[in-house]
Amino acid sequence: MSNDKWSLPTRYLAFILLLAFTCWLLYVARSVVAALVVSALIAYALSPLVSLLSTRLPRRLAVSLIYVIFLAVLVLAPLLLAPWIVRQAGSFEAELLRLQGEIEAYLVRFKFLGLPFPTSLPPLDIQAALSDLLHPTQLLVIFQTASTNLVYVLIALVSVYYFLHDAERLRDWIFGLLPLSERPDVERQYERIRLVWGAYLRGQLILMFFVGLLTGLAMAAVGLPGAAFVGLLAGLLDIIPSLGPAIAAFVALLVAVFEGSLFLGLDPLIYAIFVGVIFVAIQTLENVWLRPRLMGARLHLHPLLVFIGVIGALALSGILAALIVVPVMSSAAIIGRYLWRRILGLDPWKVRDTPSEDVGEPAE
């Protein structure tokens, strides 16, 4: 067997071919990659519980126990919440029907350049939509889609267990592929990026709960119809920075303008302004006080960059990309700053990634 080392051009060529093959494979298997990304995020969010339980139990048992609890919550939560969600959705549908009537009545009185607007809107017929949905051809499409999605869900659920159980071995294997001279720097960058993702994921879950609960209570206090549903919507959409809260606020403003309060005798326009002020106050409380305390300065990104990143990711790659684009941008900033200082011949560790001491510099 020959022990001759490859020449530098040969190594570069092999690296380029390997990189091209990897990119092609990721593109072909992008749906599976998306399922793996979701499972990795779930495992990362659950890993602190595993670490805490591992101090009292063997790690394998701790992983199994946390995984079983996770599956139980995943199954039982929809079953317990489904009746309440159906009731709230039915109430919200009734509000939309009344809203449609209000808009049609308003269009009857409104004219533009002396010409009347159309006085009827497309009918909101839920039963007809369900009938179309239950058509045999549509059912076949739904079955095919559900079967494919079931495979991805199965991949994600199984992967969560193995990510929890073998995360450290997988990390060590990746580090083992690196040259010894570069391994310390990569490990140090890994610790910084790990802190970014941990701060984002755990902080975002707390923020979603806080925003949803506070919004639902505030909307119920001022008599907004469907307040619980609006609160649930605000909490779920808060995971999409900038865009999610704006969508929830828009829905609440529509209901406020055309339905008014259940018990406050305010003009609909004044009431809508009041509801808008409440949403602004909640978002201000979240962004100025709670978010910095949960995430610190580890996601030191300008709000404009966050907004552009979320909108661009949503338009180009869908909801999953929009959910993770913020920590991805922050991680890319950390890596980019390191590479730039290496290119300039400067010490990459002399300057912190953010002006704050809360950056989470890994312990030496």
Q: What is the pLDDT of residues 322-352, one digit of tens each?
A: 778 888 888 888 888 888 888 887 777 775 5
Q: Which of 197, 199, 201, 191 is nearest to 293 (CA)?
A: 199
Residue with the two structure tokens 């011949």? 345
How many angstroms separate the Cα of 337 from the Cα of each of 147, 186, 348, 354?
44, 14, 8, 11
Tens-place pLDDT, residues 36-71: 888 888 888 888 888 888 888 888 888 889 889 888
Q: How far apart are CA 169 and CA 84, in angstroms?
A: 43
Class of residue 160 by CB neighbours under 10 A (exposed 0-12, middle 13-18, buried 19+): buried
Ordered DSSP codes for 267-309: -HHHHHHHHHHHHHHHHHIIIIIIHHHHHTTTT---HHHHHHH
| 60 falls within a domain | no
Asked whether the predicted pLDDT for residue 256 surpasses 70, the reply is yes
Q: Which of 260, 236, 261 is nearest to 248 (CA)?
A: 236
| 242 falls within a domain | yes
Q: How far apart are CA 300 and CA 108, in angstroms?
A: 51
Q: How far apart are CA 336 and CA 339, in angstroms?
A: 5
Our count of domains for the chain comes to: 1
| 335 falls within a domain | yes
Tens-place pLDDT, residues 163-214: 888 888 888 888 888 888 888 888 888 888 888 887 788 788 888 999 999 9
Bridging pattern class, strands 111-112 and 115-116: antiparallel
| 183 falls within a domain | no
| 263 falls within a domain | yes
Asked whether the predicted pLDDT for residue 121 surpasses 70, the reply is no
Q: Which domain holds residue 276?
A: 190-364
pLDDT of residue 364: 40
102-125 mean pLDDT? 54
Q: How far apart are CA 47 and CA 63, in angstroms?
A: 9
| 77 falls within a domain | no
pLDDT of residue 353: 44
DSSP 225: T
Range of weakest confidence among 74-88, 194-208, 217-231, 235-249:
74-88
Looking at the DSSP assignment, which residues form a beta bridge with residue 111? Answer: 116
Range of weakest confidence among 70-79, 138-147, 233-242:
138-147
pLDDT of residue 358: 42
Cβ count near 149 (within 10 Å): 12
Average pLDDT over the chain, rounded to an integer: 76
Q: Which two tokens stand for residue 131?
A: 């009938």
Asked whether the predicted pLDDT for residue 126 surpasses 70, the reply is no
Q: Cβ contacts of residue 228 below 8 Å, gap of 6+?
A: 84, 88, 216, 220
The larger pLDDT score, comparing residue 330 to residue 106, is at 330
Reduce the DSSP state of residue 77 to 3 states and report it: helix
| 274 falls within a domain | yes
Global model pTM greater than 0.95: no
CB 171 within 8 A of CB 190: yes
Q: How far apart are CA 290 and CA 203, in angstroms?
A: 9
Reduce the DSSP state of residue 148 to 3 states and report it: helix
Q: What percent of the chain has pLDDT over 90?
A: 7
The larger pLDDT score, comparing residue 271 to residue 259, is at 271
Asked whether the predicted pLDDT for residue 157 surpasses 70, the reply is yes
CB 251 within 8 A of CB 272: no
| 337 falls within a domain | yes
